[in-house]
Amino acid sequence: MDVVTWTGRTACLLQQAMRMTNEQFAERLGISERTISRWHAQPDMIHRSEVQQILDTAHEQAEEAVQRRFALLLRPPAPVVKAQALRVAIAVVLRGDDVLLVCRRGDGELRWQFPAGMVKPGGDPATVAVQETHGETGVHCAVREQLGERVHPVTGVVAVYHLADHLAGEPANLDPLENVDVAWVPRIALTRFIPPDQIYPPILTALEATA
């Protein structure tokens, strides 16, 4: 049997395991009900030696079911694992005065978007942006800078945007299940393909700065 250091908290856990009221627990230990209330109010207090012995005896004489419940209550709580928000890496790929777009299927309609891919936990969004651009379109690119991130107004995921430069390759639809077309679009005509209110403002700023 493990040795228990009796504090206000552990004594109250033993009471909980025994499923006793303050009055019942006080009677079981042979102490006053006021003392039990003080333990609840001061969970960090460490009991003097004679009280430690009283609680040791109560614990040792408890039924096996009580001891099992007490052992479970003593276990530290499991760490809270925070769910990572779903992230998507987006590549705004430039070639001269053109920007690369893909036309996606979805919800019964077609939407022009920038190449993008899901970022796995621990993944690097910039690397994903480059890899997904090549995987979707066959275009090789290099990230110039991260433009920022936001919760996408349509999809609700965290979108991480990257400005990238074209290195090599002509666009082709390499993902026909998701996309219907891939094209270089003149940057000045971008808002004819993607509604302006859905374009992350720093993208428009970057396109104007590099024109």
CATH number of 87-209: 3.90.79.10
pLDDT tens-digit profile of 52-66?
A: 999 999 999 999 999
Can you give the pLDDT at residue 157?
A: 87
Can you give the pLDDT at residue 55?
A: 93
* Interatomic CA distance for residues 132 and 88, integer angstroms: 10
pLDDT tens-digit profile of 132-179?
A: 999 999 999 999 999 999 988 777 889 999 999 999 999 999 988 889
Ordered alpha helix ranges (H), 3-155: 8-18, 22-29, 33-41, 49-61, 64-74, 125-137
Token digits of residue 90: 């987006």
The model's pTM is 0.61
pLDDT tens-digit profile of 76-118?
A: 776 665 556 789 999 999 999 999 999 988 666 788 999 999 9
Mean pLDDT of 119-129: 92
- Which one is predicted more confidently, 143 or 198? 143
Asked if residue 1 has pLDDT above 70, the reply is: no
Q: Where are the domains of the chain?
A: 8-74, 87-209
Query: Which letter does DSSP use for residue 62 in this model?
Result: S
Q: Which amino acid is at 177?
A: L
